[in-house]
Structure formats: C-alpha cells, structure tokens
Structure 1
Amino acid sequence: MDIQQIEQNTFGYYQAGFHCAEAILQAITEAFGAKEQANIPNMASAFCGGVGGTKQDICGALTGGLMAIGVLCGRQTPDKDLRDVKALASDLRAQFLAEYGSTQCQAVLNKLGQQEHAMKCKALTAHVAGVLAQLLLEKGLAL
C-alpha cells in the first residue's frame, strides 16, 4: 500500500458514511497494521465536525489523525517516553496549521468555501491522511 492508496481509502470511508475523524483513524490504522485494535473507528465518533458537530473546536480530520498516532505510537504504561508521540503530533498539527490557517473546524470550513455533500472535507481528510502517513513512514513505521 502507498500513500495515494491510504488517501483513497480515507476518502472511501468518508464517502461510505464514516465522518472525518473515523475515516482517517480507520484508514491509517489499517495501513500501518493496527486494524485489529479494539474500538476503531468508534473511538473517534464524538469528534466529527469540531467535536460533536459544533464546528467550534478542532477539525475532526486532525483529531482522527492524532488518535491514529496514539494507537500506533502511544504508550500503554506511564513510564514510556512520550517524546516521539509528541513530536509526531506536533508535526501533524504544524503542517495542518500551515496549510489551512487554523485547526478550528469552522475556520477551516470557511477557508474551504461552499461544498456539497462534504466533498471538500472528504478531500481534506484524505490529504491529512497522506500527510500523516508520510510522517509515520519518516519515523520508521512500515506499511
């Protein structure tokens, strides 16, 4: 699987009815071998549309990506070092912010402009999945 396929899978999950956070979490964890993890994608269900559909908080695509980082690289014991997870999360956030100007759902929607059937959100979510996949590959995770 390559980054383009991850983007296509993310878009496909969104198109099939999952929302932004669910779609990216599902596609990334599948691509990097964690699809058997419990509670994927339902652990992301409350994060759609800026948390609960309010559009007031963090974009669901970014939230789902951050959750995928946690699933793939997070710790299960409190003594594990968090530097790598924090660096990945910070890098994803920085790239998102540089591209979209904000991490807030409504601000991102305003930048995207008019859309039908959330097509621009679907494309954004797929793109963020590609960015995250590249970051994970650079950190040494294998597809």
Structure 2
Amino acid sequence: MENTPAAVSKKEAAREALLARTGELAIHYYQELGFHCPEATIRACSDALGLHLSEEVIRAASGFMGGGGGMGERCGVMEAGCMILSVIFARVAPFQEPWPNNYLIRTLHSRFMEKITCLHCRDIQAMEEREGVDEDCLCHRTVVEGAKIIAGVVFDADELLKNVTEADIENDPKPFEDE
C-alpha cells in the first residue's frame, strides 16, 4: 500500500476502528458478562483480531486474574497480551529466532507502562483507588486501554518489525545462553 495521505488516513482509520472495537468488546466481556480481566481481554482480542482462539486457550488466561490467582502481581491484562502476541508471533520450531515475539512483547510492556503507568495489579488498583475510582469500576480503564494497546501492537507489528535494527536483535534477551 502506498504511503499517500489518503492511504495513511485509511490505515489510521482502520487502526482506530480496530482499537475502538477491541475496547468495546473488552468492557462488554468484563463489565456486562462478568469475565475477569485476562479472560475479558483475551476474548475481546480474539474476537476483534479474528483469531478464533479455542476455549482451551482462552481458559488458560483465567489464572492470571488479580495478578496471578489474586496475588496482585503482574496485571492479567498484560499477561493476556503476552498470550495474544505469542499465539500470533511466537516461533513454532526451536531453530527459529524468538526475537520478533520478544520485541513485540517488550513494545507491549512499553506502551502499557506509558498508558497505565505500572504493571502490577495491586499498584494499578491502588492508583485507581487514590484517583477515587468507584470500587465497582476498578480496572475498567485498564481492561479497555490494555486491550486496545494489545490490538495496536498487533496492528503495528509489520511496521515495528520492519524498523528493527541489528542492535535491537543483538540486545534481545537470551536467557538460555551461557555467559
């Protein structure tokens, strides 16, 4: 596709429509249907992105609610995002490089921190309580915005990966290499 103003605006309009739809689905699953944050997020992203994830994969996100079984650790929305990106971009054979998925997950982290400002469930809820968010509405913003961030990373993935530098690849964490 050309990079003409009309093409760019069509692409941006498509991106904005995807994000809006993902956010609407996320709050629907969370607030109206009563799914927990990672369940609502993974369902919304699966629907909006046309992934057709199986119920088994979707159910696998359940344990991340409340920061991992209610422990307040890393946000379940963030964990669902890692699952979505891995379903789409993770390697399928051991000889393949893990860096594309790793890079996109780091991008997800960065965007999440920029918008939400923290990664831990307990910190997000404490922040919202300080802001005066009603107890019944805790995490609504995180579920909606987080789902939109995830869909945005997926939408932007080709462009993001096209702009990766050798330094980005070289700096990819390699946890299983000997030092």
Calculate the TM-score normalised by the size of structure 2.
0.71
Structure 1: stretches of 5+ with no match in the other structure: none
Q: 1:38: Cα distance to partner?
A: 5.2
Residue 86 of structure 2 is aligned with which of 70, 77, 82?
A: 70
C-alpha deviations, 1:35-80, integer Å up to 9, x for none? 143513201011000100111x101111111111111212222222
Distance 1:102 1:121 in 2: 12
Structure 2: stretches of 5+ with no match in the other structure: 1-16, 160-179
The one-letter amino acid of 2:43's match is: Q
Alignment-derived partner of residue 10 in structure 1 = 26
User: Is this contact kept in 2: 1:100–1:111, CA < 8 A?
Assistant: no
Sequence identity of aligned pairs in percent? Answer: 24
Alignment-derived partner of residue 153 in structure 2 = 135
Decide which structure has greater helix share. Answer: 2
Calculate the TM-score normalised by the size of structure 1.
0.87
Instruction: Report the number of matched residues.
Output: 139
Range 131-140 or range 30-39, more displaced: 30-39
Distance 1:140 1:67 in 2: 18
Distance 1:67 1:36 in 2: 11
**Pairing 1:126–2:144 present:** yes
User: Is this contact kept in 2: 1:29–1:72, CA < 8 A?
Assistant: no
Ranked by relative contact order (alpha carbons within 8 Å, sequence separation 6 or more), the top structure is: 1
Higher-Rg structure is: 2
